[in-house]
Amino acid sequence: MSRILSKTKQVFDMVIFGATGDLARRKLLPAIYNAFIENNFDESSKIYCVGRQEISQEEYCQKALEFAQLTKQKIDNDKWAAFTQQIEYIKIEFNNVEEYNKLYELLDINRTSIYYLSTAPEFFNTIISNLAKVNLNHANSRIVLEKPLGHDLQSSEEINNFVAQYFTENQIYRIDHFLGKESVQNLMAIRFGNTLFEALWRRQWVHSVQITVAEDLGVGSRGDFYENTGALRDMLQNHLLQLLCIVAMEPPSSLDADIIRDEKLKVLRSLKPLNEEDVINNVIRGQYKAGTINGESVKAYIDEEHVLEDSHTETFVALKAEIQNWRWAGVPFYLRTGKRMQEKVAEIVIQFKDIPCKIFPTSGQNVGNRLIIRIQPEETVQLFFSAKEPGDGNRLKPVYLDLDFNKMFTNSRRTDGYERLLLDVIRGNLSLFVRRDEQLAAWKWVMPILESWDNLKIIPRQYAAGTWGPGGSSALLAKDGVFWHEDIS
């Protein structure tokens, strides 16, 4: 998603709460470091890393460097040393309001103050109210909230109501790191920057849409978190529905943040509501059992650390959704997410309708015209079509055009999703952040699924780790004569 960015270097104070956690050290600080070495903000800006551990400034920066070195990016020790001159570690007990005076003395309320809540959600209210008690929720402040923002519709609204007491909506940045990925932004460029695709992007020409976010990893040490969350809340309610919105939204009149978010909201409100019968027939709930990933045996979800031995938490969800508007009526959208699947991949597949009259014989599987936008692990766009095989016959064979962003833009540095989103927070650009009414609409749509699972006692279907999920996932599409992308590749 292209944005016009100010060439003026930004000056700000950023406060990262939960700075000793994995997210801060593996994602946030490396992202800010990259922005620093790219000269994207003024050197007088400060990064205040707030944690509850009693450690020295030097020890914190060294630990942060060790975490950063575990990422795929290269860290220059001299540049890192220069970057750490802008970092200050502060020990604060989140529930002790008196300790927030340390921040009040350090922050300049005449410039932008950014508060990033990289903590468990149960600390959100405490941190926000204590910031307000020392008058740090001023007009130049912005607050960044990490998911999960609530466990259901009611708890989400409770959090949003609380935050709204202290910050206005245009000061609140609900972050979804998927929206910062280059391929996600390119999805809008492909749609709204090319006559070829925009003309075909509608029910008259699109047969179906698949959105998949699959991981080969299990829950690891996050079993206690996952037991209270599950795949539907963790991935589908936010990441996948946001991707669906970008795929299905109407062309915005401009790249203004609220205009874009208005169009996304229309999609969420157009989703066909699900009743219990829909949940039974069109939603597949799964949980991984023991299996093999990359030649190595892995254990079942119920054997993971901090997981109940009789757990019914889902690690996989696949469902069929429908959008009831003029552009998409009758086009099925298949959404799928899961852990311990065959490979790590996030992709969007636009399957176009077949030609009405076939005059050429084909060789191999006839896959028709498909557009595949891959978000991870690599960022590519592939367009499948049919071409004549060489020789004296007229047989068609599936071929594809392949755009690999790393190969196409060799002189451009690929930015991480968090880096792009953090720069947007610094610049005050809300385009890639979720507005409250969007979040409300998403929760309203998924709540009938959660309620039906509880009311009908629907337990997850087992699937072996290293596969593409329960068999019912493929059957869900087969009823419509459709196959998951990997089954026709």
How confident is the model over 254-266, as pLDDT tens digits? Answer: 989 999 999 999 9
Please give the pLDDT value at position 387: 79
Please give the pLDDT value at position 62: 87
Please give the pLDDT value at position 4: 39
pLDDT, average across residues 77-81: 87
Q: How many CB atoms lie within 10 A of CB 122?
A: 8
Pairing of strands 172-174, 380-388: unpaired
Q: What is the DSSP code string of 237-303?
A: IIIIHHHHHHHHPPPPSSS-HHHHHHHHHHHHHHBPPP-HHHHHHHEEEEEEESEEETTEEE--GGG
Please give the pLDDT value at position 362: 66
Please give the pLDDT value at position 2: 37
Please give the pLDDT value at position 396: 79
Pairing of strands 296-298, 291-293: antiparallel
Please give the pLDDT value at position 263: 97
CA angle 24, 26, 30 (to 5 degrees): 85
Pairing of strands 370-376, 291-293: unpaired
Active site residues: 239
CA distance 438 to 421: 18
Phi, psi dihedrals of residue 377, rounded to the nearest 5°: -75, -35
Sign of CA dihedral 192, 194, 195, 196: negative
The packing angle between helices 57-69 and 77-84, to 10°, is: 140
Each residue's pLDDT tens digit, 27-68: 899 999 988 888 888 888 999 999 999 999 889 888 888 888
In a 3-state reduction of DSSP, which class is residue 217?
A: coil
Q: Where are the beta strands (DSSP E) in 44-161?
A: 46-51, 87-91, 112-117, 141-145
Element (H, E) at 2: none
Sign of CA dihedral 469, 220, 51, 88: negative
Query: Do 314 and 446 touch, CB atoms closer than 8 A?
Result: no
CA distance 337 to 334: 10
Each residue's pLDDT tens digit, 249-301: 999 999 899 999 999 999 999 999 999 999 999 999 999 999 999 899 999 99
The packing angle between helices 182-192 and 241-248, to 10°, is: 20
Element (H, E) at 270: helix 257-270
- The CATH homologous superfamily to which domain 179-487 belongs is Dihydrodipicolinate Reductase; domain 2 (3.30.360.10)
Query: Do 213 and 239 touch, CB atoms closer than 8 A?
Result: yes
Please give the pLDDT value at position 6: 45
Please give the pLDDT value at position 410: 65
Tell whether the model's pLDDT for residue 421 goes beyond 70. Answer: yes
Each residue's pLDDT tens digit, 447-476: 999 999 999 999 999 999 999 999 999 999
Please give the pLDDT value at position 189: 87
Phi, psi dihedrals of residue 352, rounded to the nearest 5°: -80, 155
Query: Do 325 and 331 touch, CB atoms closer than 8 A?
Result: no
Please give the pLDDT value at position 183: 78
3-state secondary structure 442-482: HHHHHHHHHHHHHHHCCCCEEEECCECCCHHHHHHHHCCCC
Tell whether the model's pLDDT for residue 1 goes beyond 70. Answer: no
Q: How many CB atoms lie within 10 A of CB 356?
A: 5
For 44, the token pair is 């007088």
Element (H, E) at 152: none
What distance lies between CA 15 and its chain's CA centroid? Answer: 23
Element (H, E) at 251: none
Task: Count helices and strands (H / E) in the chain.
Answer: 18, 17
CA nearest neighbour of 364 among 397, 387, 333? 397
In a 3-state reduction of DSSP, which class is residue 411?
A: coil
CA distance 375 to 341: 17
Phi, psi dihedrals of residue 73, rounded to the nearest 5°: -75, 155
Mean pLDDT, the chain, rounded, equals 90
Each residue's pLDDT tens digit, 128-175: 999 999 999 999 999 999 887 889 999 999 999 999 999 999 999 999
12-146 to CATH, choices 2.60.120.10, 3.40.50.10320, 3.30.360.10, 3.40.50.720: 3.40.50.720
Each residue's pLDDT tens digit, 310-364: 999 999 999 999 999 999 999 999 999 999 999 999 999 999 998 887 777 665 5
Tell whether the model's pLDDT for residue 186 goes beyond 90. Answer: no
CA nearest neighbour of 11 among 113, 137, 82, 84? 113
In a 3-state reduction of DSSP, which class is residue 394?
A: coil
Query: Do 124 and 36 touch, CB atoms closer than 8 A?
Result: no
Query: Do 443 and 237 touch, CB atoms closer than 8 A?
Result: yes
Count of residues for the chain? 489
Least confident of 13-17, 403-407, 431-435, 460-464: 403-407
Domain boundaries, the chain: 12-146, 179-487
For 124, the token pair is 């959100």
CA distance 188 to 432: 12
pLDDT, average across residues 206-225: 93
DSSP designation for 53: S
Query: Do 337 and 236 touch, CB atoms closer than 8 A?
Result: yes
CA distance 236 to 213: 9
Q: How deeply is 113 buried, as exposed, middle or buried, from its count of CB atoms within 10 A (0-12, 13-18, 19+)? A: buried
Alpha carbon distances (Å) from 221 to 75, 230, 411: 27, 14, 39
Element (H, E) at 61: helix 57-69
Confidence band (pLDDT; 50, 70, 90) for 412? Answer: low
Please give the pLDDT value at position 140: 94
